[in-house]
Amino acid sequence: MRIINRRPSRLPALALGLVPFIATLLVYAVASHYRRLENPADKLLPSLDSMGQAFWRMAAVPDRRSGDLLLWVDTFDSLWRLGSGMAVSTLLALVLGISIGFIPHIRSALAPYIATFSLIPPITILPILFITFGLGEVSKIALIVIGTAPIMVRSTAQAVLDIPREMIIKAETLGASVWQMVTRLVLPQVLPKLITALRLGLVPAWIFLISAEAIASTTGLGYRIFLVRRYLAMDVILPYVVWITLLAFLLDRLLLLLSRRAFRWNHLGSDAL
């Protein structure tokens, strides 16, 4: 049997998936050890032990000035901003995407505009958002929406256009109204694709969130990373980067699990990534 037709069982697949992570950890540990042998005060590659202590301090030791557990305050604020922005983007993708994909007049009016708007680098709009909305939460959430909604709208509209025309004709033949076709035909077909668009949209959303927090914020994961960089506190920065990666991974897996549970038919015979 050729290797492309061989599938590892559950336990070997898990082991293979862990190998790159363990290898990265070992390479870092070795590099950190030899770098600190040359300079014990080196801050660029802190030891795993010092990073663990720093992470524990941020997560479990109250801050002297505020009394807060900084890691959890930063995590809550960042996730709230991320969730608010992605919720707005998802709603826009659902409403505008279906409208553009299903109604030709709306497609003619909005599709070129959305396509053009999606090409604007969102980071360039950040100063405008700060001037317009101030340095509060609105500007940060707006940046996430501007950076993710247009792409999600286009993806959703394309999913509507991909629905076989025969299904729509059959629904019209049976006397279904436009609203009935949207709710009973289009929506069930589009929702799995919308979850996929949401998963893909989380990647740039994290980038825009961290960028906005780094520039103008007093809490958040991005704010903390850029605050401690002036002290070369890599023992805090690296654990925060790993923590952000873990949060992003968990959000992605939860959305995938939701899609698999709610739309089993969409995952039959395929290995979803």
**Which pLDDT score, from 0 to 100, does residue 6 have?**
81
| Cα 218 to chain centroid, rounded | 22
**Which pLDDT score, from 0 to 100, does residue 271 have?**
62
**Which pLDDT score, from 0 to 100, does residue 273 have?**
66
Query: For residue 66, is pLDDT > 70?
Result: yes
> Rounded mean pLDDT of 147-165?
93
Consecutive H or E run containing 9: none
Q: Mapping DSSP to helix (H, G, I), strand (E, B) and coil, where does residue 217 land? A: coil
**Which pLDDT score, from 0 to 100, does residue 63 have?**
84
CA distances from 60 to 32, 70, 125, 239 (A): 25, 9, 37, 14
> Rounded mean pLDDT of 236-254?
94
Query: For residue 272, is pLDDT > 80?
Result: no
Q: How confident is the model at residue 270 (pLDDT cuts 50, 70, 90)?
A: low
CA distances from 35 to 26, 38, 53, 108 (A): 14, 5, 19, 60
> Rounded mean pLDDT of 42-46?
82
